[in-house]
């Protein structure tokens, strides 16, 4: 019997806020600093308390470490290199991903551009330097050197609402990681190569890839981790009715 959660108090609300405000998309990890399996298990256990419609709990998680992680990295990078060398191969390997709009409009276009050029600016990548841009994009497929890679799938039979549930689960993982001194980077970049990824992780034909995520300890010396993405003010996105 599960006891009531009504009387549970958050003893240190500032820690909750710190975890939220301290979360960012980490793009450089310490490759040789391992993450304990017990920490991964606890992060996932607590994250699974996320709300989901009628308690469907749609998440399925694949944890990659060591050789299995490296196998995925090597195979996806090889395919990505082939597509970069011959864009005509994209149709063979790429999955159609509708994460982003088919047509960018204001203000989302401006925010996207600001984010991209701020990142490239930190890395010393100028406009038109396609090889450098490709190399940075491919850092996704190395999990940014994080020792732990996570892949998330969902049953194809489920609807759009399950992706809303999934978002809350993913956010819980990222916040729980911060509670343990870890960082994360959620990554939709992997979805382009779902056809390559799904057999490697052993996912079934009834599953579809939601996203990937890097998990590990941040490299505090990496300039890329100093990127701070701006947020809109509450007044700009809120209407009191």
Ranges of the chain with pLDDT below 50? none
Supply the CATH number for residue 200's domain. Answer: 3.40.109.10
pLDDT at 2: 63
Does residue 41 form part of some domain? yes
pLDDT at 3: 76
pLDDT at 238: 98
Does residue 70 form part of some domain? yes
The pLDDT tens digits of the residues spanning 170-215 come to 999 999 999 999 999 999 999 999 999 999 999 999 999 999 999 9
Does residue 232 form part of some domain? no
pLDDT at 167: 98
pLDDT at 1: 55
Does residue 162 form part of some domain? yes
CB 158 within 8 A of CB 56: yes
Does residue 236 form part of some domain? no
> What is the residue range of 50's domain?
23-95+104-227
Does residue 9 form part of some domain? no
The pTM assigned to this predicted structure is 0.95
Does residue 223 form part of some domain? yes
Closest CA to 79 of 190, 187, 153, 188: 190
CB 209 within 8 A of CB 198: yes
Does residue 17 form part of some domain? no
Cα 141 from Cα 80, distance rounded (Å): 9
How many structural domains comprise the chain? 1
Beta pairing class for 183-187 and 207-216: antiparallel
Using CB atoms within 10 Å of the CB of residue 126, give its burial: 0 to 12 exposed, 13 to 18 middle, 19+ buried. exposed
pLDDT at 96: 83
């Amino acid at each position: 019997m599960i006891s009531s959660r009504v009387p549970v108090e958050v003893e240190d609300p500032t820690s909750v806020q710190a975890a939220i405000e301290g979360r960012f998309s980490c793009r450089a990890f310490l490759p040789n600093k391992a993450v304990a399996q017990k920490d991964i298990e606890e992060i996932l256990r607590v994250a699974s308390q996320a709300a989901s419609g009628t308690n469907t709990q749609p998440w399925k998680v694949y944890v990659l470490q060591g050789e299995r992680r490296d196998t995925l990295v090597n195979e996806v990078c090889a395919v990505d290199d082939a597509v970069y060398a011959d864009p005509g191969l994209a149709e063979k390997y790429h999955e159609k991903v509708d994460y982003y709009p088919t047509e960018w409009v204001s203000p989302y276009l401006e925010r996207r551009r600001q984010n991209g050029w701020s990142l490239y600016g930190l890395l010393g990548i100028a406009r038109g330097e396609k090889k450098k841009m490709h190399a940075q994009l491919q850092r996704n497929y190395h999990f940014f050197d994080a020792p732990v890679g996570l892949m998330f799938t969902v049953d194809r039979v489920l609807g759009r609402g399950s992706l809303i549930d999934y978002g809350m689960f993913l956010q819980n993982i990222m916040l729980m990681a911060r509670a343990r001194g870890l960082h994360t980077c959620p990554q939709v970049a992997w979805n382009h190569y779902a056809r390559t990824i799904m057999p490697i992780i052993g996912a079934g034909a009834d599953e579809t890839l939601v996203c990937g995520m890097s998990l590990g300890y941040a490299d505090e010396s990496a300039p890329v981790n100093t990127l701070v993405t701006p947020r809109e003010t509450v007044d700009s996105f809120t209407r009191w009715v």
